[in-house]
Structure 1
Amino acid sequence: MAQFRLAGCYRNGLGIDPDHTKAIELYRSLAERGMPQAQVSLGQYFENGEGVEQDYNNAIEWYSKAADQGSDDGRLHILWIGMCRFCGEGISEDSNKAFEWFSKSAEEGNSYGQRWVGVCYYWGYGVTQDYTKAAEWYRKSADQDNRYGQLQLGWCFENGRGVGEDVDTAIFWYRKSADQGDEDSIGRLKEIGKWP
């Protein structure tokens, strides 16, 4: 742990001059020996291109190793990996791989991952289009007070996609999302005539 703290001192210039090369060297040594915190830190260096050439594939590799060991920080980065795959940010766009990463995040209980699994099912990105499964995943996200999951679940109810058409239930979900400031939900409520 002392080596990890020393790497942090080099990274942040605490008590010594910042030296990303030394920090990376220390983090890499610890990461290769299986320390999840060092794996996440090394992944961040590659993600940001700080002290090394920006390389999303290396970032993904290190975040994945941390996540595979149960690291909460590594798990949080799983959603980021899915977004990179979905958008082709720094790596090749691959909706099948994006769906896999969103699913990993969703299975960990991440409400944003759950929402993105719903998006994939709704539009058929990386998986066969299935409105019922989309609505199920949106509900999991919405039940955790994720305003985007609430918005999209409201849309499903308003349009009878994967659930029975039910405008009152749609309004309920739109209102929960709007209460968190979601402009799209406010727009839907205005269009339905239920705002404010």
Structure 2
Amino acid sequence: MAKKIFFLILTGSLLFFLTACEKEQAKEIVSEKEGMEYYRKGEYKKASPLLRRSADSGNAAAYYYLGLIHLKSKGKEESGKNACNCFVKSAESGYPKAYLKSAGCYLTGTGVEQDFKSAFEWGKKAADTADEIRMDDKDRLFLALLMGGMYANGKGTLQDFSEAAKWYKKAAEMGDATGQSMMAFFTYSGRGVLMNREKSRYWAERAAAQGSPYGEVILGMLSQYRENPDMKEAMHWYRKAAGQDNKVAYYQLGVIYEKGLAVKQDLAKAHHYYQLAAQSGRDYIVQELIDFEARHKLNKKD
């Protein structure tokens, strides 16, 4: 009899626990629904406490929308950090819409310690669920640039130009100037894809039409290094890119003025452009400046 009573009490306590959980879950759902209604209306002050209550109960979606509300806060220095804190909690709880936001947080080190590996991993998860959540074009573009950049630079993963080109092509086809510039570079250099100067010009012209200095530089290189060089055209594009403080354009102009390629040799201008290019901090360009000064016996102040 005692054993039966014990199991009866145990069963009763379990039933009470489950009933309590169901009631609490129902409260969470109500809070989330009410919070979402206010969120859609743009009434964030009313939405926040309701979503916070739901989030504190472990609701991953509520954390995500709280993060969006923080992003919409203006004039608050901590809004980005608070938003990322919410996005990461949401993503860690398995809410797919938060994966891409979390990748961006780890990439920039906003609200979390900068971690390229985590950024890449969340980016991969976002890519895997993009169709499932019906990711919009704005986020698809951000995802393409994020993954393209990480593969191209070997951040958070092994450097892979082939994968980088796949992602940048997605961005390029969406009309993004950065994606178009990178595809111009890849098809010009043969990195990650087959070398194809016609395709390089195609992408470079589209990037340059949007004012991309990298598109302009590639157009300059296509004019300079073709079978019948057109240095006038090359100089036109290099100067346009240099006008946007492009370090590659500075370097190319330095070479042209040092060697007198279709222009009168001018070592003073060459030195000026090499110095500007060296501000990039790239070791090989800094070394070019050093070598130039050594070749022409110049002091750094010259």
Query: Normalising by structure 2, what TM-score?
Result: 0.51
Distance 1:93 1:165, change over 3 A: same
CA contact (8 A) 2:178 2:207 kept: yes
- The separation in 2 between residues aligned to 1:178 and 1:22, in whole angstroms, is 42
Report the Cα distance in structure 1 between the residues aligned to 2:191 and 2:173, rounded to whole angstroms: 18
Q: Which residue of 2 aligns with 1:83?
A: 149
Partner of 1:166: 230
* Cα offsets for 1:26-67 (capped at 9, x unmatched): 3556843xx4xx343222244457279752442222443459
1:103 is paired with a residue of what secondary structure?
Answer: helix
- Give the alignment's Cα RMSD to 1 decimal: 3.5
> For the pair shown, which has the larger CA radius of gyration, 1 or 2?
2
Whether the 8 Å contact between 1:63 and 1:74 is mirrored in structure 2 is: no
Look up the SS of the partner of 1:170 in the other structure.
Answer: helix
In structure 2, the residue corresponding to 1:55 is in which secondary structure?
helix
Secondary structure of the equivalent of 2:245?
coil
Task: Name 1:61's counterpart in structure 2.
Answer: 124
Mapped pair 1:44 → 2:44:
no
Q: Work out the CA distance in 2 between the residues paired with 1:98 and 1:132.
A: 20
Distance in 1, matches of 2:244 and 2:84, equals: 40
Q: What aligned pairs does 1:1-196 form with structure 2 within 5 A after superposition?
A: 1=36, 2=39, 3=62, 4-7=64-67, 23-27=87-91, 31-32=95-96, 35=97, 38-47=98-107, 50=112, 54-64=117-127, 65=129, 69-160=135-226, 165-190=229-254, 191=257, 192=261, 193=263
Kept in 2: contact 1:154–1:171 (CA 8 A)? yes
Q: Quick one: distance in 1 between partners of 2:240 and 2:137? A: 32
Q: Distance in 2 between matches of 1:103 and 1:80?
A: 13
**2:70 & 2:215 partners in 1: Cα distance?**
41
Gaps of 5+ in 1: none
- C-alpha contact (below 8 Å) 2:102/2:119 kept by paired residues: no
C-alpha separation in 1, matches of 2:108 and 2:247: 31
Unaligned runs of 5+ in 2: 1-35, 40-61, 72-76, 274-302
- For residue 151 of structure 1, report the CA deviation from its aligned partner: 1.1
CA distance in 2 between counterparts of 1:23 and 1:119 reads: 34
Across the two proteins, how many residue pairs are aligned to each other?
Answer: 188
Q: Residues of 1 paired with 2:230 and 2:206: CA distance?
A: 18
How far apart are residue 96 of structure 1 and its match? 1.5
Contact 2:181/2:215, CA 8 A, preserved across alignment: yes
